[in-house]
């Protein structure tokens, strides 16, 4: 049996996978972000993840899982978060998360230290959006100097969970490539980028040891093995970021496929055997967690936007929400939502807010706004897909994962907007499944492709193909969407509006 742990923004999930019977049992525990923070600040207590993991393990045992048969564990974690530890490995402050957009000024200072964006990209291979870890380190240095001075270890969320499981401080290239101080093409930490963060202090000793994708992070601590009823010697794989694990879990370990995750954020990515560096800096040049690379597009607002509308109009169930959307014609009769609720990463508008175009009596209704939110976030992802295609991706199909993929109407919207067939997986827990598959690969002799072929299967009942009428309509809507977005990105409107919001708060 193999365990896959997925530590997300809103919940932690553990799956127990038995490859012999192909059975899968899962347990999850929800949690919240820290409330009351200023706009743009998104933080969580790392202890929240530990408590959720302990709860899930107890539930798995209570569900009848024979955890004495576990041989390896893999961990998937939300990317880019910053966990700071003192000399005793105690957490110094809450983790700043991937969707924290409070560090725009720090990004600019890092780029200035680098000699400009082009020089930064030449060293790292990526641009520096506020979500990346580097600017979070500088933010703590400038705003909480006491915590910064006491910090001797800097980890990503999945690295922190691996430390809890094994007592070892490790990192792997996939998750590390989203920090902003990692050379993607060379798969190594960048001493130059670390000096841009702090020219007076050597930060390299604060970083964990890099290991390969198939190397173990360590063995499960004996105290946890006894507590959870696991055998001695359970191996913990390198793990990786949620996008890297989602790629494995969706079978995206070779060319010809693109995975789209409809979660809190939205991501699109596809496997590459060589580094894919975007000269415009919009597509993240990431490593994957198999030894290859994972060019990736990310938008910050997906189900966070649809859930805002669902909650705002008190749709009691997701079924009712989807039904009301199906009652509205494609294109929402001209209502378009630009869903940059608290900033956006692609395009890079950290001061962004949501914008509605086409409000009139006929469209000022809950069902129209619900559909406009679903279409708006999908149109935002379309931009990322177009950029991946420009860089060489040739997807024959798109594999949908994440909570939004369960919606029948959303699947058809995605097929029409993307102009490509979409399909879901039989096993929905993408990153958790990927973590379990990587754990098996770390423990056993078989190749990762063998494990993927054996377990990752498509749910053909979910397949949707583009309709000609839908595709033509959304091409027109997308043209308007892009013009609206480009107009606002190039203007001071967002920044000025953010100042008004901050004054009111």
The catalytic residues are: 242
From the CA atom positions of the chain, what is the Rg in Å?
A: 22
Compute the residue count for the chain: 505
CB 163 within 8 A of CB 91: no
**What is the token pair recorded at 242?**
């949620």
For residue 299 the two structure tokens come to 């938008």
CA distance 281 to 63: 47
Query: Could you give the angle at the alpha carbon of 54 between the alpha carbons of 318 and 148, nearest 5°?
Result: 95
Helices 117-124 and 104-114, packing angle to 10 deg? 80
Q: Which residues partner with 349 through β-bridges?
A: 344
User: In this structure, what are the phi and psi dihedrals at residue 258, rounded to the nearest 5 degrees?
Assistant: -130, 135
Token pair recorded at residue 23 = 């059975």
Q: 415 and 422 in contact (C-beta within 8 Å)?
A: yes
Omega cis (within 30) before 347: yes
Q: How would you class 141 by CB atoms within 10 Å of its CB: exposed for 0-12, middle for 13-18, buried for 19 or more?
A: middle
């Amino acid at each position: 049996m193999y365990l896959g742990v997925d530590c997300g923004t809103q919940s932690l999930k553990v799956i127990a996978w038995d490859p012999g019977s192909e059975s899968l049992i899962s347990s999850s525990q929800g949690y919240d972000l820290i409330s009351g923070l200023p706009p743009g600040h998104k933080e969580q207590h790392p202890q929240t993840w530990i408590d959720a993991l302990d709860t899930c393990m107890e539930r798995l045992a209570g569900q009848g899982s024979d955890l004495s048969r576990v041989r390896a564990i893999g961990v998937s974690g939300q990317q880019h978060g910053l966990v700071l530890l003192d000399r005793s490995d105690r957490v110094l402050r809450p983790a700043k998360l991937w969707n924290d957009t409070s560090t725009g000024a720090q990004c600019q200072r890092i780029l200035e230290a680098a000699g400009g964006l082009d020089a930064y990209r030449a060293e790292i291979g990526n641009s520096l959006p506020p979500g990346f870890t580097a600017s979070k380190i500088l933010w703590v240095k400038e705003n909480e100097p006491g915590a910064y001075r006491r910090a001797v270890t800097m980890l990503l969320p999945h690295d922190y969970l691996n430390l809890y499981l094994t007592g070892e401080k490790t990192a792997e290239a996939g998750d590390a490539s989203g920090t902003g101080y990692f050379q993607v093409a060379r798969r190594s930490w960048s001493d130059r980028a670390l000096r841009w963060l702090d020219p007076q202090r050597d930060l390299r000793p604060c970083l964990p040891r890099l290991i390969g994708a198939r190397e173990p992070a360590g063995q499960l601590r004996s105290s946890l093995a006894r507590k959870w009823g696991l055998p001695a010697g359970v191996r913990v794989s390198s793990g990786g970021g949620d996008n890297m694990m989602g790629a494995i879990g969706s079978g995206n370990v070779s060319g010809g496929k693109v995975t789209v995750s409809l979660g809190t954020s939205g991501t699109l990515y596809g496997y590459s055997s060589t580094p894919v560096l975007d000269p415009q800096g919009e597509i993240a040049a990431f490593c994957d967690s198999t030894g290859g690379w994972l060019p990736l597009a990310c938008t910050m607002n997906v189900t966070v936007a649809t859930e805002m509308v669902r909650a705002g109009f008190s749709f009691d169930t997701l079924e009712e929400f989807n039904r009301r959307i199906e009652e509205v014609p494609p294109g929402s009769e001209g209502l378009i939502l630009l869903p940059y609720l608290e900033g956006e990463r692609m395009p890079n508008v950290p001061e962004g807010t949501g914008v509605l175009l086409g409000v009139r009596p006929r469209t000022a209704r809950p069902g129209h706004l619900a559909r406009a939110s679903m279409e708006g976030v999908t149109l935002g992802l379309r931009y990322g897909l177009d950029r991946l295609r420009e860089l060489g991706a040739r997807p024959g199909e798109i594999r949908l994962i994440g909570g939004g993929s369960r919606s029948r109407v959303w699947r058809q919207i995605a097929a029409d907007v993307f102009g490509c067939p979409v399909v879901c997986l039989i096993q929905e827990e993408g990153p958790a499944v990927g973590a379990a598959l990587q754990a098996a690969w770390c423990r056993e002799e078989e190749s990762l492709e063998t494990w993927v072929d054996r377990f990752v299967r498509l749910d053909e009942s979910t397949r949707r193909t583009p309709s000609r009428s839908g595709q033509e309509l959304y091409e027109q809507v997308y043209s308007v969407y892009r013009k609206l977005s480009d107009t606002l990105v190039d203007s001071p409107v967002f920044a000025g509006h953010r100042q008004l919001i901050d004054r009111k708060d």
